[in-house]
């Protein structure tokens, strides 16, 4: 019996968290949730997920800042970061912050699962 890889969904909107959580679970992953950037960082340091799907506009610590902190911390820098946002113009900023991928909202289930699979399999390079 294998254990499903853990994926964290960090979004302040409970509807988005639930929807993305269902997508990820349908892909065979285990899911945990965070409501803001500091919550995500704290949980990631305690139980590192394979990937974090983080909204750009997270409260208290936005998705880009979260990504930069994760990439600078040797204890968690292997976590794949996927930034999600309705703002397409931040894709390059997400990559610069260390994100493995950027997805524009509204999310498409198949695209999200393909990005996760590719990023986790390749160690974050998409």
Confidence category of residue 125, pLDDT binned at 50, 70, 90? low
User: How confident is the model over 31-65, as pLDDT tens digits?
Assistant: 999 999 999 999 999 999 999 999 999 999 999 99
The tokens of 25 are what?
A: 């679970």
Residues with Cβ within 8 Å of residue 78, at least 6 apart in sequence: 48, 123, 124
Specify the 3-state DSSP secondary structure of 71.
helix
Instruction: Between 14 and 124, name the one with better pLDDT.
Output: 14
* pTM of the predicted structure, to 2 decimals: 0.94
pLDDT, tens digit, 9 for 90 and up, residues 61-92: 999 999 999 999 999 999 999 999 998 899 99
Kindly list the structural domains of the chain, giving each domain's residue range(s) and its CATH number in brackets, ordered by start.
6-114 (3.40.50.2300)
**122 or 98, greater pLDDT:** 98
How far is residue 47 from each of residues 61, 107, 110, measured CA to CA in Å? 19, 26, 26
Question: Is the model's pLDDT at 123 over the cut of 60?
Answer: yes
Does residue 6 surpass a pLDDT of 90? yes
């Amino acid at each position: 019996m294998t254990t499903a890889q853990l994926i964290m969904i960090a979004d302040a909107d409970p509807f988005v968290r639930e929807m993305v959580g269902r997508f990820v679970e349908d892909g065979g992953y285990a899911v945990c949730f965070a409501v803001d950037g500091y919550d995500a960082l704290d949980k990631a340091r305690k139980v590192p997920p394979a990937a974090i799907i983080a909204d750009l506009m997270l409260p208290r610590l936005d998705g880009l800042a979260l990504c930069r902190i994760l990439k600078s911390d040797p204890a968690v820098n292997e976590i794949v970061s996927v930034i999600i946002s309705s703002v397409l113009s931040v894709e390059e900023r997400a990559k610069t912050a260390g994100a493995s991928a950027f997805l524009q909202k509204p999310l498409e289930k198949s695209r999200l699962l393909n990005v996760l699979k590719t990023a986790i399999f390749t160690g974050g390079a998409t």
